[in-house]
Amino acid sequence: MYTKFFLTVFALNFSFFLYSQNDNWFEPAPKGMQFVKQGGFDFIGDSTSKKITIAPFWMSNEIANKEYREFTDYVNAHQNDTLNFTIFDSISVNKYIVYKQLNKEIIDSMALAKEYPVNSDKYHLYLNYFSDKKFDNYPVVGVSYFGAIYYCIWKTMIEQAKNKNILINDYRLPTEEEWFYAAFLTKDNKEEICNEIKPSLSGKSNNLKLYNINSNVSEWTSKSSIDKQIKIIKGTSWKNEMNINDRKFIDKNTKAGYLGFRIVRSYIGTGVNMVIQK
């Protein structure tokens, strides 16, 4: 099976500016995602502040174990199928990967248990965290940047196959700016900081109906440092507290028990998609 996954350079199409401010008239809400309107704000990065405009997009809550298991189950059932995608750098490069090559890359299912001493109560509690159905609605952890990217590619493929006559944009990781903007819009909502992991939809939702935007697990963004092997993660986790302005630099291959992700999808017509960087 060959699936093309096209990602385009970040760009704004202002012809849809007025339309983008109308809730849901142009594009039905993707299941499990919330609409974030276009807006401007002061973005703080690299110790500097700059005013930027963010195009409208859809954002999910933390991807839960049961959602990510749909992906891993598909990978296991289609070992010889191929996932195709396009990387844009100085030139566009078509790449592919056979699903059986993903087995060791997409998740460390013991990542949360490894955060605790071996043979401790918490270690045993979380030993089967990813597969145990009692944790179905908890955020998936132990997923590297590439694991999150492959999930986005797969989810796009599945939805495009189901909706062949409907135009949808690609699922992707949020940019640092998009993540910050969503958190910025909800900064007056107090996050419930807890020293152990909790369900993705736990606590009170904010005014965007997003849960745990700055708590529970830290989250991957698509933003790279100068070294493209290093990505920026955002948000407080059950293990480490971070201000919404804080950035943590981490290797793309990291699979940690405090690190998960949420996904976004550009609003139809905005012409905004994210680049996968080498």
> What is the per-residue pLDDT across 120-179, written as a single tens digit (0 to 9) for each?
999 999 999 999 999 999 999 999 999 999 999 999 999 888 887 777 789 999 999 999
SS3 string of 214-261? CCCCEEEEEEECCCCCEEEEECCCCCCCCCCCCCEEEECCCCCCCEEC
Q: Tell which phi-psi region holds residue 62, choosing left (phi > 0), alpha (psi between -120 and 50) or beta.
A: beta
**Given CA atoms 196, 201, 207, 213 in this order, what sign does their dihedral have?**
positive
User: Is residue 48's pLDDT more than 90?
Assistant: no
Q: What is the pTM of this model?
A: 0.84
Higher pLDDT, 215 or 84: 215
Q: In what order do the strands lie in the sheet with 264-266?
A: 33-36, 57-60, 264-266, 171-172
If DSSP codes are grouped into helix, strand and coil, which group holds residue 8? coil
pLDDT value of residue 33: 93
The two beta strands, 259-260 and 248-251, are unpaired
Q: At what angle do helices 145-162 and 65-77 cross, to 10 degrees?
A: 80
The two beta strands, 218-224 and 259-260, are parallel
Query: Averaged over 51-59, what is the pLDDT?
Result: 91
pLDDT value of residue 91: 57
Higher pLDDT, 20 or 39: 39
153-164 CB burial, b ≥16 within 10 A, e <16: bbbbbebbeeee
What tens digit of pLDDT does each residue of 61-110 get? 999 999 999 999 999 999 999 887 776 655 556 788 899 888 878 999 99
* Residue among 219, 218, 190, 213 nearest 201 (CA): 213
In the structure, what pLDDT confidence band is assigned to residue 46 with cuts at 50, 70 and 90?
A: low
Query: Averaged over 177-196, what is the pLDDT?
Result: 77
User: Is residue 278's pLDDT more than 60?
Assistant: no
If DSSP codes are grouped into helix, strand and coil, which group holds residue 96? strand
Contacts of 181 (CB under 8 A, 6+ apart): 36, 39, 41, 43, 54
Higher pLDDT, 149 or 268: 149
Query: Averaged over 30-34, what is the pLDDT?
Result: 89
DSSP strand E in the chain: where? 33-36, 39-45, 48-54, 57-60, 82-88, 92-98, 171-172, 218-224, 230-234, 248-251, 259-260, 264-266
Residue 57, beta-bridge partner list: 36, 266
Higher pLDDT, 33 or 12: 33
pLDDT value of residue 23: 45
Domains belonging to the chain, first-starting first, are: 14-266 (3.90.1580.10)
pLDDT value of residue 122: 97
Residues found in the chain:
278
pLDDT value of residue 94: 76
What tens digit of pLDDT does each residue of 12-28 get? 333 334 334 444 445 56
Distance (Å, rounded) from C-alpha 78 to C-alpha 57? 31
User: Is residue 45's pLDDT more than 70?
Assistant: no
Mean pLDDT of the chain: 82
